[in-house]
Amino acid sequence: MTNSGGSSHIGSIFSVADILSVLYGRVLHVDPTEPKANSRDRFILSKGHAGAGVYAALGECGFFKLEILKSHDQDGSLLSGHVSHKGIPGVEVSTGSLGHGLSIGAGMAFAGLTDGSSHRVFVVLSDGECDEGSTWEAILFASHHRLSNLVAIVDYNKIQSLASTQDTLDLEPFANKWSSFGWAVREIDGHNHAEILGVCRELPFSQNKPNCIIAHTVKGKGVSFMENSVLWHYRTARGAEFDAAMTELMGGLNEG
Protein backbone atom coordinates (compact mmCIF):
# COMPACT_ATOMS: atom_id res chain seq x y z
CA MET A 1 0.00 0.00 0.00
CA THR A 2 2.65 2.52 0.92
CA ASN A 3 4.80 1.53 -2.03
CA SER A 4 2.06 1.85 -4.64
CA GLY A 5 0.84 5.17 -3.26
CA GLY A 6 4.30 6.60 -2.68
CA SER A 7 3.54 7.36 0.95
CA SER A 8 5.80 6.98 3.97
CA HIS A 9 5.67 6.12 7.69
CA ILE A 10 6.23 2.41 7.05
CA GLY A 11 8.45 2.13 10.14
CA SER A 12 5.66 3.51 12.31
CA ILE A 13 3.14 1.15 10.72
CA PHE A 14 5.28 -1.92 11.34
CA SER A 15 5.86 -1.00 15.00
CA VAL A 16 2.12 -1.03 15.70
CA ALA A 17 1.03 -3.82 13.30
CA ASP A 18 0.99 -6.59 15.92
CA ILE A 19 -1.07 -4.46 18.29
CA LEU A 20 -3.63 -3.70 15.58
CA SER A 21 -3.75 -7.35 14.59
CA VAL A 22 -4.61 -8.52 18.10
CA LEU A 23 -7.05 -5.69 18.78
CA TYR A 24 -9.06 -6.21 15.63
CA GLY A 25 -8.70 -9.97 15.63
CA ARG A 26 -9.39 -10.80 19.27
CA VAL A 27 -10.21 -7.80 21.47
CA LEU A 28 -12.40 -5.06 20.00
CA HIS A 29 -16.15 -5.56 20.08
CA VAL A 30 -16.92 -4.30 16.58
CA ASP A 31 -19.16 -5.57 13.79
CA PRO A 32 -18.41 -4.78 10.12
CA THR A 33 -22.09 -5.29 9.28
CA GLU A 34 -23.09 -2.66 11.84
CA PRO A 35 -20.11 -0.28 12.15
CA LYS A 36 -22.07 2.40 14.02
CA ALA A 37 -23.71 0.14 16.60
CA ASN A 38 -24.05 1.99 19.90
CA SER A 39 -22.59 -1.00 21.75
CA ARG A 40 -19.36 -1.05 19.71
CA ASP A 41 -15.95 -0.43 21.23
CA ARG A 42 -14.44 2.80 19.95
CA PHE A 43 -10.91 2.71 18.51
CA ILE A 44 -8.79 5.78 17.78
CA LEU A 45 -5.38 5.71 16.13
CA SER A 46 -3.95 8.92 17.52
CA LYS A 47 -0.71 8.36 15.58
CA GLY A 48 -2.71 8.84 12.40
CA HIS A 49 0.33 8.69 10.11
CA ALA A 50 0.23 4.89 10.58
CA GLY A 51 -3.24 4.81 9.06
CA ALA A 52 -2.36 2.21 6.43
CA GLY A 53 -2.20 -0.33 9.24
CA VAL A 54 -5.74 0.45 10.38
CA TYR A 55 -7.06 0.40 6.81
CA ALA A 56 -5.49 -3.02 6.28
CA ALA A 57 -7.02 -4.34 9.51
CA LEU A 58 -10.46 -2.98 8.62
CA GLY A 59 -10.25 -4.48 5.15
CA GLU A 60 -9.26 -7.88 6.52
CA CYS A 61 -12.17 -7.72 9.00
CA GLY A 62 -14.68 -7.05 6.23
CA PHE A 63 -15.52 -3.37 6.77
CA PHE A 64 -14.91 -2.80 3.06
CA LYS A 65 -13.61 -4.71 0.05
CA LEU A 66 -9.90 -5.52 0.18
CA GLU A 67 -9.60 -4.28 -3.39
CA ILE A 68 -9.91 -0.71 -2.10
CA LEU A 69 -6.55 -1.02 -0.29
CA LYS A 70 -4.76 -0.87 -3.66
CA SER A 71 -5.77 2.78 -4.01
CA HIS A 72 -4.11 3.88 -0.76
CA ASP A 73 -2.89 7.51 -0.80
CA GLN A 74 -3.50 7.93 -4.52
CA ASP A 75 -5.45 10.69 -6.30
CA GLY A 76 -9.16 10.29 -5.72
CA SER A 77 -8.80 7.55 -3.11
CA LEU A 78 -10.79 7.52 0.12
CA LEU A 79 -7.73 6.09 1.88
CA SER A 80 -5.58 9.10 2.72
CA GLY A 81 -2.07 8.78 4.09
CA HIS A 82 -3.22 9.87 7.56
CA VAL A 83 -6.25 7.90 8.67
CA SER A 84 -9.55 9.54 7.79
CA HIS A 85 -13.13 8.68 8.74
CA LYS A 86 -14.62 10.21 5.59
CA GLY A 87 -16.38 7.44 3.70
CA ILE A 88 -14.56 4.69 5.60
CA PRO A 89 -16.72 2.51 7.88
CA GLY A 90 -14.98 1.53 11.08
CA VAL A 91 -12.90 4.71 11.46
CA GLU A 92 -14.23 6.87 14.29
CA VAL A 93 -12.29 10.08 13.67
CA SER A 94 -9.65 11.52 11.35
CA THR A 95 -6.32 11.86 13.14
CA GLY A 96 -2.73 12.80 12.52
CA SER A 97 -2.37 16.12 14.29
CA LEU A 98 -0.47 14.45 17.09
CA GLY A 99 -1.62 14.91 20.66
CA HIS A 100 -5.35 15.04 19.93
CA GLY A 101 -6.38 11.39 19.90
CA LEU A 102 -6.36 10.80 23.64
CA SER A 103 -8.39 13.97 24.24
CA ILE A 104 -11.06 12.73 21.83
CA GLY A 105 -10.97 9.27 23.37
CA ALA A 106 -11.28 10.65 26.88
CA GLY A 107 -14.34 12.61 25.79
CA MET A 108 -15.90 9.50 24.28
CA ALA A 109 -15.15 7.49 27.43
CA PHE A 110 -16.61 10.20 29.67
CA ALA A 111 -19.79 10.29 27.56
CA GLY A 112 -20.06 6.50 27.71
CA LEU A 113 -19.61 6.46 31.47
CA THR A 114 -22.21 9.22 31.89
CA ASP A 115 -24.69 7.33 29.71
CA GLY A 116 -24.09 4.06 31.52
CA SER A 117 -22.85 2.40 28.32
CA SER A 118 -20.73 -0.75 28.46
CA HIS A 119 -18.47 -0.02 25.48
CA ARG A 120 -14.76 0.70 25.84
CA VAL A 121 -12.55 3.28 24.16
CA PHE A 122 -9.08 2.27 22.94
CA VAL A 123 -6.54 4.89 21.86
CA VAL A 124 -3.17 4.00 20.33
CA LEU A 125 -0.63 6.79 20.77
CA SER A 126 2.90 7.29 19.57
CA ASP A 127 5.61 7.91 22.12
CA GLY A 128 6.52 11.16 20.35
CA GLU A 129 3.12 12.71 20.96
CA CYS A 130 3.63 12.16 24.66
CA ASP A 131 5.89 15.23 24.38
CA GLU A 132 2.77 17.33 23.90
CA GLY A 133 0.85 19.16 26.60
CA SER A 134 -2.60 18.29 25.26
CA THR A 135 -1.83 14.62 25.83
CA TRP A 136 -1.12 15.22 29.50
CA GLU A 137 -4.24 17.36 29.88
CA ALA A 138 -6.24 14.37 28.65
CA ILE A 139 -4.33 12.09 31.03
CA LEU A 140 -5.30 14.36 33.94
CA PHE A 141 -8.92 14.57 32.78
CA ALA A 142 -9.25 10.80 32.48
CA SER A 143 -7.81 10.21 35.93
CA HIS A 144 -9.99 12.88 37.51
CA HIS A 145 -13.14 11.30 36.09
CA ARG A 146 -11.99 7.72 36.83
CA LEU A 147 -12.48 6.59 33.24
CA SER A 148 -11.89 2.86 33.68
CA ASN A 149 -13.49 2.33 30.26
CA LEU A 150 -10.58 4.15 28.59
CA VAL A 151 -7.48 2.26 27.40
CA ALA A 152 -4.39 4.11 26.19
CA ILE A 153 -1.84 1.97 24.36
CA VAL A 154 1.49 3.68 23.77
CA ASP A 155 3.51 2.41 20.81
CA TYR A 156 6.86 2.91 22.55
CA ASN A 157 9.32 2.32 19.70
CA LYS A 158 11.57 5.08 21.10
CA ILE A 159 12.18 6.79 17.74
CA GLN A 160 10.43 10.00 16.71
CA SER A 161 10.35 11.62 13.29
CA LEU A 162 13.93 12.92 13.31
CA ALA A 163 15.70 11.34 16.28
CA SER A 164 15.26 9.07 19.29
CA THR A 165 12.82 10.00 22.03
CA GLN A 166 15.73 10.11 24.44
CA ASP A 167 17.53 12.74 22.37
CA THR A 168 14.39 14.70 21.50
CA LEU A 169 12.64 14.92 24.87
CA ASP A 170 13.31 12.04 27.20
CA LEU A 171 10.11 10.39 28.51
CA GLU A 172 11.65 8.27 31.23
CA PRO A 173 10.67 7.24 33.81
CA PHE A 174 7.70 6.76 31.50
CA ALA A 175 5.53 4.24 33.38
CA ASN A 176 6.01 6.16 36.62
CA LYS A 177 4.71 9.33 34.98
CA TRP A 178 1.44 7.65 33.97
CA SER A 179 1.11 6.06 37.41
CA SER A 180 1.69 9.36 39.18
CA PHE A 181 -1.11 10.88 37.09
CA GLY A 182 -3.50 8.28 38.49
CA TRP A 183 -3.53 5.61 35.77
CA ALA A 184 -3.25 1.84 36.17
CA VAL A 185 -0.23 0.84 34.08
CA ARG A 186 1.09 -2.35 32.49
CA GLU A 187 4.20 -2.80 30.32
CA ILE A 188 4.38 -5.45 27.60
CA ASP A 189 6.28 -6.60 24.53
CA GLY A 190 4.23 -4.95 21.79
CA HIS A 191 5.12 -7.67 19.27
CA ASN A 192 4.16 -10.64 21.45
CA HIS A 193 0.59 -11.54 20.56
CA ALA A 194 0.08 -13.62 23.70
CA GLU A 195 1.17 -10.72 25.90
CA ILE A 196 -0.99 -8.21 24.05
CA LEU A 197 -4.05 -10.45 24.30
CA GLY A 198 -3.32 -11.41 27.89
CA VAL A 199 -3.08 -7.84 29.13
CA CYS A 200 -6.24 -6.85 27.26
CA ARG A 201 -8.11 -9.69 28.95
CA GLU A 202 -7.19 -8.12 32.32
CA LEU A 203 -9.05 -4.89 31.47
CA PRO A 204 -10.01 -2.89 33.37
CA PHE A 205 -6.93 -3.02 35.58
CA SER A 206 -8.79 -1.03 38.23
CA GLN A 207 -12.44 -0.07 38.67
CA ASN A 208 -11.49 3.52 39.48
CA LYS A 209 -8.63 4.31 37.11
CA PRO A 210 -8.05 4.65 33.37
CA ASN A 211 -5.80 2.01 31.82
CA CYS A 212 -2.40 2.52 30.20
CA ILE A 213 -0.54 -0.19 28.29
CA ILE A 214 3.04 0.74 27.44
CA ALA A 215 3.95 -1.49 24.51
CA HIS A 216 7.69 -1.75 23.92
CA THR A 217 8.10 -2.03 20.16
CA VAL A 218 10.65 -1.82 17.35
CA LYS A 219 10.26 0.77 14.65
CA GLY A 220 10.32 -0.99 11.27
CA LYS A 221 9.72 -4.40 12.91
CA GLY A 222 10.04 -7.32 10.50
CA VAL A 223 12.46 -5.83 7.99
CA SER A 224 16.07 -5.96 9.15
CA PHE A 225 17.30 -2.82 7.40
CA MET A 226 14.31 -0.79 8.65
CA GLU A 227 14.41 -1.85 12.29
CA ASN A 228 15.40 0.85 14.80
CA SER A 229 16.17 3.28 11.97
CA VAL A 230 14.87 6.84 11.94
CA LEU A 231 15.29 6.84 8.14
CA TRP A 232 12.10 4.82 7.67
CA HIS A 233 9.82 7.35 9.29
CA TYR A 234 9.54 9.25 6.00
CA ARG A 235 11.22 7.01 3.43
CA THR A 236 9.32 4.91 0.87
CA ALA A 237 10.71 1.51 -0.14
CA ARG A 238 11.27 1.37 -3.87
CA GLY A 239 12.84 -1.06 -6.32
CA ALA A 240 15.37 -3.38 -4.73
CA GLU A 241 14.53 -2.12 -1.23
CA PHE A 242 10.86 -2.99 -1.71
CA ASP A 243 11.70 -6.44 -3.08
CA ALA A 244 14.07 -7.15 -0.20
CA ALA A 245 11.52 -5.99 2.37
CA MET A 246 8.77 -8.16 0.90
CA THR A 247 11.10 -11.17 0.83
CA GLU A 248 11.83 -10.75 4.54
CA LEU A 249 8.19 -10.18 5.45
CA MET A 250 6.96 -13.19 3.51
CA GLY A 251 9.74 -15.31 4.98
CA GLY A 252 8.70 -14.29 8.48
CA LEU A 253 5.06 -15.03 7.68
CA ASN A 254 5.91 -18.51 6.44
CA GLU A 255 8.01 -19.21 9.55
CA GLY A 256 5.12 -18.02 11.75
Residue 127 vs residue 4, higher pLDDT? 127
Query: Residue 247: what pLDDT?
Result: 96
- What share of the chain has pLDDT > 70, as a percent? 100
Whether the predicted model's global pTM rises above the 0.85 cut:
yes
pLDDT in tens, 135-189: 999 999 999 999 999 999 999 999 999 999 999 999 999 999 999 999 999 999 9
Nearest to 32 by CA among 56, 72, 79, 64: 64
Residue 102 has pLDDT above 70, yes or no: yes
pLDDT in tens, 240-249: 999 999 999 9
Nearest to 154 by CA among 83, 207, 105: 105
pLDDT in tens, 104-114: 999 999 999 99
Mean pLDDT of the chain, nearest integer: 95
Choose which CATH entry (3.90.170.10, 3.40.640.10, 3.40.50.970, 3.40.630.30) describes domain 2-255. Answer: 3.40.50.970
d(CA 110, CA 108): 5
Mean of the pLDDT values across residues 204-231? 97
Query: Residue 256: what pLDDT?
Result: 60
Cα atoms in the 13 Å half-sphere on the side-chain side of 18: 25
Mean of the pLDDT values across residues 56-61? 96
Mean of the pLDDT values across residues 12-17? 96
Lowest mean pLDDT among 33-47, 76-90, 105-119, 120-134: 76-90
Query: Residue 82: what pLDDT?
Result: 83
Q: DSSP string covering the chain, please?
A: -HHHHT---HHHHHHHHHHHHHIIIII----TTSTT-TTSPEEEESSGGGHHHHHHHHHHHTSS-GGGGGGTTSTT-S--SS---TT-TT--S---STT-HHHHHHHHHHHHHHHT----EEEEEESGGGGSHHHHHHHHHHHHTT-TTEEEEEEE-SB-SSSBHHHHH---SHHHHHHHTT-EEEEEETT-HHHHHHHHHT--S-SSS-EEEEEE--TTTT-TTTTT-GGGGT----HHHHHHHHHHHHHHHHH-
CA dihedral 90, 91, 92, 98 (to 10 degrees): 160
